[in-house]
Structure 1
Amino acid sequence: MSIVLTEDRGAVRHVVLNRPEKRNAFNDELVVGLRTVLEAAADDDAIHCVVLRGAGPMFSSGMDVNFLGALALDPGRLRTSRRPIIDTWNLLEEMPKPTIAQIHGGCIGGAMELALACDLRVMAADAVIGLVETRVGLVPDVGGSSRLPSVVGLGRAKEMILASKIVDGIEAERIGLVNRVAPADELDDTTTQLVSELLACAPRAVALAKRLLDTVAKPTLSASLELEVQAQELCARSDDFAEGTRAFAEKRQPEFTGK
């Protein structure tokens, strides 16, 4: 079975991350599969909206633990390994049709950065979401640091990133991180309602409005994405990251030194 599934519901394409046995953690195969499917959706004139969701008990746990292990062993590979991820995440923001992340269970780290690249987010009340990179000595570097402030404001973005704060769906809606929240068993219906509101509008006008809003909200996105990777390169070579990955593997609290 494909690692990324698609389901068309009229003019809406549902894209489903299908690695549930690994909590839909992103490895190279899943990133490539997602990119292929998103490119096809962007190019299909019959599709007017894209919904991204995950198979199994959660949306996604973020980047595969093997990615962190490889980065710890060879920090120099950061840019080359990060590029296809950034390009794939950016597709959600750049395609001329609205994109929605439908979040259940958990949406952690790189998965939240993926959701932030979507135009809108719908979340189950009992789901959790957060950027937890600072807990292992890293920074959110696939768009999280660049996109989160424009969604929730600088102060809340700092709180979430600096403290690796995880929030549930109720809190996520309160701070503006997600557009709608619903009980888990009503999540699909709530997404469908939002989609119907989007489909009631002219597709070309929606596409142009999306481009205008993104340009105004994030005029320096490409520059800030470069700053993210520069910061991550420093983190990847730090003693704190080495300690963070050891502590993660050993299931204990890290002892950071700031070096």
Structure 2
Amino acid sequence: MSIVETEDRGAVRHVVLNRPQKRNAFNDELVLGLREALHAAADDDAVQCVVVRGAGPMFSSGMDVGFLGALSGQPERLRASRRPILETWNLLEEMPKPTIAQIHGACLGGAMELALAADLRVMASDAVIGLVETRVGLVPDVGGSSRLPSVVGLGRAKEMIMASKIIDGTEAERIGLVNRVAPADELDAATDQLVTELLACAPRAVAYAKRILDTVAKPNLSATLELEVAAQELCARSEDFAEGTRAFAEKRQPEFSGR
């Protein structure tokens, strides 16, 4: 069974994260599998819309704990390890076809950054979502800090990132983070309804509109993505990150130095 599965529903390509035994946490294999699947969807003329979702009880818990461990031990490898992740997330945003993240269970950290790269988000009302990096002494560095303000506004973005706030689907829709919310057992139907509305529009016009809107909303994206990684390099070398990873492993609250 593939770590990323695909399912075609007419003109819609469903790309499914398939590592449920690890809560669909992103390791190198899952990132590579997702990148290949997104490239294939982007290059297939028969595909007019892409939906990314997760197998098992949740969308994704974010980056694999092994990734954080490696970052703690070798912070100089940050840029190299981050590059394929960012390239994959960017694919979701940059392909000319509309993309949707269908969120159930939980969508945390790097997984929320992936969802932010999608054009639209549909979420179960009882699911939870958040960027929790500051809890371990890091910042969202694969697009979360750059994209969230354009979706929910600067004030709410600061609250979610600086306080590592986790919210449910109902709150996510209220603040504009997701486009549709539905009970978990109606999530597929809610996604299908949004897809139907997208497919009723001219694909070329949708593609042009997508490009224009993204350029307007994130005119300095490349610069802010560079700021993210520069900040993360400093965080990864800090005592706060060392303490955050120790506390995470020991299942306790961290005691940050503030230095």
Residues in 2 aligned to 1:175 and 1:128: alpha-carbon distance in whole angstroms: 14
Q: Deviations over 1:86-115 (max 9, x none)?
A: 000000000000000000000000000000
Corresponding residue number in structure 1 for 2:228: 228
The aligned amino acid for 2:59 is F
Residues in 1 aligned to 2:181 and 2:97: alpha-carbon distance in whole angstroms: 22
Residues in 2 aligned to 1:96 and 1:145: alpha-carbon distance in whole angstroms: 23
Corresponding residue number in structure 2 for 1:89: 89
The aligned amino acid for 1:186 is E
Residues in 2 aligned to 1:101 and 1:21: alpha-carbon distance in whole angstroms: 20
Task: Note the C-alpha offset of 1:45.
Answer: 0.6
Task: Note the C-alpha offset of 1:258.
Answer: 1.5
The aligned amino acid for 2:60 is S
Aligned length in residues: 259
Corresponding residue number in structure 2 for 1:43: 43
Output aligned runs, 1:32-111, within 5 Å: 32-111=32-111
Gaps of 5+ in 2: none
RMSD over aligned Cα, in angstroms? 0.3
Residues in 2 aligned to 1:112 and 1:139: alpha-carbon distance in whole angstroms: 13
Task: Note the C-alpha offset of 1:209.
Answer: 0.3
Corresponding residue number in structure 1 for 2:205: 205
Q: Deviations over 1:101-145 (max 9, x none)?
A: 000000000000000000000000000000000000000000000
Residues in 1 aligned to 2:98 and 2:155: alpha-carbon distance in whole angstroms: 27
Task: Note the C-alpha offset of 1:201.
Answer: 0.2
Residues in 2 aligned to 1:137 and 1:208: alpha-carbon distance in whole angstroms: 39
Residues in 1 aligned to 2:231 and 2:104: alpha-carbon distance in whole angstroms: 30
Q: Deviations over 1:10-44 (max 9, x none)?
A: 00000000000000000000000000000000000
* Partner SS for 1:164: coil
Q: Deviations over 1:27-75 (max 9, x none)?
A: 0000000000000000001100000000000000000000000000000
Corresponding residue number in structure 1 for 2:2: 2
* Partner SS for 1:252: coil
Q: Deviations over 1:142-175 (max 9, x none)?
A: 0000000000000000000000000000000000
Residues in 2 aligned to 1:178 and 1:37: alpha-carbon distance in whole angstroms: 23
Output aligned runs, 1:118-129, within 5 Å: 118-129=118-129
Does structure 1 residue 191 correspond to structure 2 residue 220? no
Residues in 2 aligned to 1:192 and 1:88: alpha-carbon distance in whole angstroms: 24
* Partner SS for 2:215: helix
Residues in 1 aligned to 2:214 and 2:258: alpha-carbon distance in whole angstroms: 35
Does structure 1 residue 170 correspond to structure 2 residue 170? yes
The aligned amino acid for 2:143 is G
Residues in 1 aligned to 2:25 and 2:3: alpha-carbon distance in whole angstroms: 11
Does structure 1 residue 217 correspond to structure 2 residue 240? no
Residues in 2 aligned to 1:35 and 1:97: alpha-carbon distance in whole angstroms: 15
TM-score under structure 1 normalisation? Answer: 1.00
Moved over 6 A (4+): none
The aligned amino acid for 1:13 is R
* Partner SS for 1:101: strand
The aligned amino acid for 2:210 is K
Task: Note the C-alpha offset of 1:231.
Answer: 0.2
* Partner SS for 1:62: coil
* Partner SS for 2:14: strand
Gaps of 5+ in 1: none
Corresponding residue number in structure 2 for 1:156: 156
Corresponding residue number in structure 2 for 1:16: 16
% identical equivalent positions: 86
The aligned amino acid for 2:111 is A
Corresponding residue number in structure 2 for 1:30: 30
